[in-house]
Structure 1
């Protein structure tokens, strides 16, 4: 891809952006869930099943609060930082106006997603009468991107940030798509996720094309250094530490005997295995191929363990 061949998504944004075309999503009173059962192993723990539906529903509700809080952090503190730098020509690479304009539309979309999420969380809390437990103040990317930026030579730090954001945006898009198809979830939850997906699908293409353009224009030394940084980023990104920290806090709030809570916590240590067949890795693999990074032999060799 060349600087001249980039095609803006401005027309699509004008017609389809959710900020222009979607109604407010209102929580409904039904027996459907806020969060997918298969994403929270705690729900199926024998001791939790024995405790009854109320405890299980509480676990799903708190998991939903965490997920949405993580999305807000991701969009407002991570994606928008990079997108805004590109939009305002603060990124150390000369992207054409079409890229910068599209980046600004991403900033608008992500802030709107955060607004919708905050509104919906407030509705849920008022509807259930149950507020969120203490939330994580960071997500995996809050650690992975800065650490990966420090790992590469300073002149390539911004490029590492771009790759990290682009990879994660494509991973999130796949997660949101799975949410929007889940028949066990409340219609309003699926609606919020479907609206989000309508924008994230466009964002996914934007970040793929942006990285493809950037990768084709930088020199070989930059490609080699960024390729070396990728496995470091992926190791930091593909962890379950923060999820386990949250689950331990959640278990601690359950109305169960202390010995039962301790047993559940001990059983959850291996509950989130990340193997080569994990959906996140499958999506990352697809992104790297579509963005052209796997055509670069040194980069492909550096990340061979994930291929």
Structure 2
């Protein structure tokens, strides 16, 4: 497909989008698990060192953090960019169909934020575990640092690129939660609704990438391309501050929580970064935007 051809993934948006067809999910059965233990760094060690109630609380806190991460990402990163794309203020010359689909994504992402916020409240009511959320997440800290490191004129392009990265990563969490029958049905359904929409968003940003990349000069491509591995790690890498927060809120002393998380650095499954970012990186490599070996080397470090 040439850069000027566009095959919309949103032809059936009105009959398929969760905002058009799916209700707010009502809380159903309570379960012992609200989040897969396997997604918690060092889960085997933690399950042997914490009591059953602390483990249950820890898993619920990790689910809150995952859901709140989604709200923060959609609201602070994705929505501003898709609004600019849809209203023709992104600096890119896009076909009207791509602008229309960007507006559909804007609607989707606002809905994702809303139903995720609602889900947190329902889980809190059902479990009795207060949604004590981290003040910020690693992706926000890294995004702020990287954005400040480049000249102001390049920051709008940075915003679009990091949105592309976030929308084309296929996270293990988004795939695993809907399939895990240990979790309450309504939790699985909400995450599945989100995932179905995200497949359309993924297709959109894959199609957008050539339009975006060809709009950049060689120097700007070099500056932004060098930041891509850190962008990927920001979304998929270990968030030690979040992990300390969850352990502390689950009842572990702050000093022990900090020591425990530090000890998990070598346990973190770095291979997951390569797996979850495979599609995102492949599209960039096909375009000549990055070197495959460089990306793999930096993600595996």
2:140 is matched with: 142
Deviates more, 1:69-78 or 1:143-152: 143-152
Q: 1:266 maps to what in 2?
A: 259
SS at match of 2:12: helix
Aligned twin of 1:116: 115
Which stretch of structure 1 is more off in the superposition, 211-220 or 273-282?
A: 273-282
Which residue of 1 is the match for residue 38 of structure 2?
A: 38
Q: Which residue of 2 aligns with 1:282?
A: 275
Q: In structure 2, do the counterparts of structure 1 residues 181 and 212 end up closer, same or farther at CA, with 3 Å as the change threshold?
A: farther
In the alignment, structure 1 residue 16 sits paired with structure 2 residue 16: yes
* TM-score where L is the length of structure 1: 0.84
Displacement of 1:44 in angstroms is: 3.2
Moved more, 166-175 or 33-42: 166-175
2:19 & 2:246 partners in 1: Cα distance? 34
Q: Give the drift of 1:224.
A: 2.7
What CA deviation, in whole Å up to 9, does each residue of 1:84-120 have, x standing for no partner?
A: 1111122122222111111111111111111111111
CA distance in structure 1 between the partners assigned to 2:112 and 2:265 by the alignment:
27
- The answer to whether the Cα contact below 8 Å between 1:169 and 1:203 also exists between their aligned partners in 2 is yes
C-alpha RMSD of matched pairs (Å):
2.9
Bigger drift between 223-232 and 5-14 goes to 223-232
Alignment pair present for 1:204 and 2:197: no
Q: Does 1:245 align with 2:241?
A: yes
Any residues of structure 2 matched to 1:1-307 within 5 Å, and which?
A: 2=2, 4-41=4-41, 43-45=43-45, 49=48, 51-133=50-132, 135-171=133-169, 174-234=172-232, 239-240=237-238, 243-255=239-251, 262-263=255-256, 265-273=258-266, 278-290=271-283, 292-296=284-288, 299-300=291-292, 303=295, 305-306=297-298
Counterparts in 2 of 1:50 and 1:111: CA distance versus 1, 3 Å: same
- List runs of 5+ in structure 2 lacking aligned partners: none
Q: TM-score, normalised by structure 2?
A: 0.86
Superposition deviation, residue 194 in structure 1 = 0.7
Gaps (5+ residues) in structure 1?
Answer: none
Q: Is the 8 A contact 1:228 1:299 kept in 2?
A: no
Aligned residues: 299
Contact residue 3 and residue 95 of structure 1 kept, 8 A: no
